[in-house]
A and B are shown apart, each in its own frame.
Chain A
C-alpha cells in the first residue's frame, strides 16, 4: 500500500529517447513517433466576444505506457483544456457557438487524432483513452444507477449482453474497493459517499482496459483521508493495468505521490518539464520556484514566511509578451545576453539532464545559483 517502487526504475521507459532535442519534438508534420502518446505543438484557442482565449498555446510532450505524467498548474493555466483536447472533448457543449480552434498533432499508439475522422476518435474514447473527472457527483448522471452507467460504457465498445456487461461492472466495482458490489451496482450516485462515487467513476473509466487514463483533479473534491485511499487505488491500478496515466492537479503533493514525470504549465504553455525528482529538487524555472515557495509544508516547521508569487495569473486573452511569467517574475531583471523582453523563451534542455527542459531566458548558471543560494534554503 505504501510503495510500488516505480519511481526511479530505469527500465520502465524513459520519457524521451536520449539525445532528443525538444525542437525536434515540436516540429509539425514529422513522421509517426515511437512514443505511446506524443503531443506536438498543441494549440487550443476559443474565440469569445472579448477576444481569442489561448488556453493552450504550443504544448509538446511524450508519455510511455506504465508511466505517470503529472501536469501541474494554477487555474487557467490550460491543464484541463489540454486533457480535453487529447480526448477530443474540447468542443463539447459548444453548440452553435464559435467553435474552438485546435491545431498541432496528438499521436496515440501510432495514430494521429486531430486529423482523424471524429467517429474514429469517438471509438477510441472510453476504450483506449478514458478520463476521471474532479467532481464525481456532477460527472455521473443523477438519474441512472451506477451499474447502468458502467454497463453503458462497456457496451459502447463491446458487443455483449447486458448480463455480461453487468458482471463486468460488478467485477470492477469490487476491484476499486466498493463493498457489496452486487448490491451497490443498483445504487444511484446520490446514494454513494464522495469517495465511493470517485471509486465508481474510476471503475467506469477502467471498464474497457484503457491504455491511457487521464485523471483531472481526481481528489480535489475529496477529504484528505479519502484522497489517500483514491491515490493509492490509482497507483495500484496503474501497476496492474500498465496503462499510461496523466494526472492533472494544482496540488504538488498529489503529483509527488504519483508522478514519474512532471510538466509545469503557465499561461497555456509548458514552462518546465522533466522527471519528478529533477523538477522537485533542481527546478529550473522561476514559476516552479514560486509554486514550491508558496506551498505551506506539512512535513516541517517553517518559521519563515511563505514566498508567494506576486500578482495574479495572466489573462489568456492578453498573454504577456515574451515570457508570460515576466510581469510576476522576481528575476526578470537578471541580465540576459542579447535577449529582449518580447522574445518568447523556448523550452530547452537543461545541461546535464537529458529529460529535463525549461523555458527561461536566464542563463543556466544564474538559475542554478539563485535556486541553490536564494530559494532552496528558505523552503
Chain B
C-alpha cells in the first residue's frame, strides 16, 4: 500500500472522472415509454492517482457498483467524462476500447458465477491473451502457470475446472485473470464479501502484496467499512448516486465531516465487547430512499439529524474543506473553522442526542 502523503503529491491522475452520470430508464406500458429513471450514478467527480488504492464505500443502492462498471466501461455512461491517462474513454466503442481493456481490469464479487464452469482454469486465466491476440513470452501456458503461482495457486492445477476449487481459490483465479495483461488499474467490486472471514484475510493480503509487487492502482468497491479502512489510501463515501465525502483514510475515519459518514462509521459493530458500553451510536432513521425519486437538495436530508431548510432546497457541492478532504454538506462535522477540538465534543454529543430522539420515533 502506498503512503497517502506520497500519493497526494502525484499531480497526474491515472483515472479522472468528471460529472459522471448513469441513469437507467424505466419503461412502461405497451409503447415502452420512459416513465422515469433510476438515477444510479448522478454526477461523480474524482481522480485515481497512480499506485494508490481508492476505496469506494456505501450502502446498497448507492451506485458504487454502477460506478465500477462505468469506469471500466462495461456500462455506457449517460453523460460526463472518464479520462484514463489523459485520454477520453467516455464513449469509446468496443473496438477502440480493446487496447484499453489491457490496462483496466475488473475483479468481481461472486467467485462462483463469474467463472465459466465449462472452462479449465488454464483457459479462464489465459482468455485475456486470446482475446487480445497476444502471445506472452515463453508461451501462454507458462505465463498462466506463472500467474497461478503469483496468486498462490498450484500451477499444476492448470487443467482443473472452477468447481474443484473453494471460494477463496476461485477468487484467486479471478484475480489471476485480471492480472494476466499486466493492467495499470484494477477495479475490484466487493472482492471479498462472498468469502469466509479467514479466507477474506488471505485475499486482502494477496491484493496488498500484488500491489507492492506489480505497482498496481486499485479502485476497491465494498460495503464493509473495516475492509475499506484496511485496504484504502483514500476513500470515497457514496450515498444515492453521489459522493458525499472523499478523503484520506486517516482523516475520514478519525474526523469524518459528513453526517452520513459519521453515522455509517458509528453503525459498524466493533469486535470489542468492552466498547459497546462506551460507544456513542448514531442511529439513522429509516432506509435509503429510492434512487428513482431521490430527495431534493441534499439527498441525505431525509435521514440527517442536522438537516435544515437549506438542505431540502439546495444541493451541497463537493468541496475541499481541508487539503485532500472533500465533503458535500451544508453543516459539516469536524469542520476546520471550529475553534478547537474541545468544542467539538459537546457538538457531537448534541448531534448524537438528536439522532437518538429521531430514532426513538421510529423505534417505539
A and B form one complex = yes
User: Which candidate, B42-50, B108-116, B154-162, B198-206, is the interface stretch facing chain A?
Assistant: B198-206
Residues of B within 8 A of A1 (CB): 281, 283, 356, 359-360
Residue contact A308 to B202, C-beta cutoff 8 Å: yes
Chain B 205-220 interface mask (CB, 8 Å, partner A; 1/0) = 1001000000000000
* Smallest Cβ-Cβ distance to B62: which chain A residue: A223
Rounded to whole angstroms, the CA-CA distance of A74 and B200 in the bound complex is: 11
Contacts A194-B287, A228-B281, A306-B204 given; indicate if A292 touches B229 (C-beta within 8 A). no
Let me know if A22 is at the binding interface, CB within 8 A.
Answer: no
Partner of A224, one of B205, B268, B275: B268
User: Which candidate, B19-27, B182-190, B259-267, is the interface stretch facing chain A?
Assistant: B259-267
Let me know if A351 is at the binding interface, CB within 8 A.
Answer: no
Partner of A295, one of B208, B226, B359: B226
Residues of B within 8 A of A225 (CB): 59, 263-264, 267, 283-284
Let me know if B69 is at the binding interface, CB within 8 A.
Answer: no
Residue contact B198 to A309, C-beta cutoff 8 Å: yes
* Smallest Cβ-Cβ distance to A379: which chain B residue: B271
Q: Smallest CB–CB gap between A215 and chain B, Å? A: 14
User: Which candidate, A99-107, A108-116, A249-257, A330-338, is the interface stretch facing chain B?
Assistant: A249-257
Partner of A75, one of B196, B268, B271, B284: B196
Number of residue pairs A-B, CB distance < 8 angstroms:
166
Partner of A299, one of B196, B249, B272, B356: B272
* Smallest Cβ-Cβ distance to B166: which chain A residue: A312
Name the interface residues of A269-283: CB closer than 8 Å to any CB of B.
276-277, 280-281
Residues of B within 8 A of A253 (CB): 226, 268-271
Residues of B within 8 A of A293 (CB): 201
Let me know if B119 is at the binding interface, CB within 8 A.
Answer: no
User: Which candidate, A134-142, A229-237, A365-373, is the interface stretch facing chain B?
Assistant: A229-237
User: Which candidate, A2-10, A37-45, A49-57, is the interface stretch facing chain B?
Assistant: A2-10
Residue contact A226 to B201, C-beta cutoff 8 Å: no
Let me know if A145 is at the binding interface, CB within 8 A.
Answer: no
Let me know if B163 is at the binding interface, CB within 8 A.
Answer: no
Chain B 347-364 interface mask (CB, 8 Å, partner A; 1/0) = 000000000100110111
Residue contact B225 to A224, C-beta cutoff 8 Å: yes
Among B196, B229, B362, residue most surrounded by chain A Cβ atoms (within 10 Å) = B196
Residue contact A306 to B205, C-beta cutoff 8 Å: yes
Let me know if B139 is at the binding interface, CB within 8 A.
Answer: no
Contacts A193-B287, A253-B270 given; indicate if A297 touches B169 (C-beta within 8 A). no
Q: List 9 A-B contacts (CB under 8 A).
A: A177-B363, A177-B364, A227-B267, A252-B271, A256-B269, A256-B271, A259-B273, A293-B201, A312-B199
6 closest A-B pairs by CB: A253-B269, A308-B201, A296-B230, A294-B201, A228-B267, A309-B198
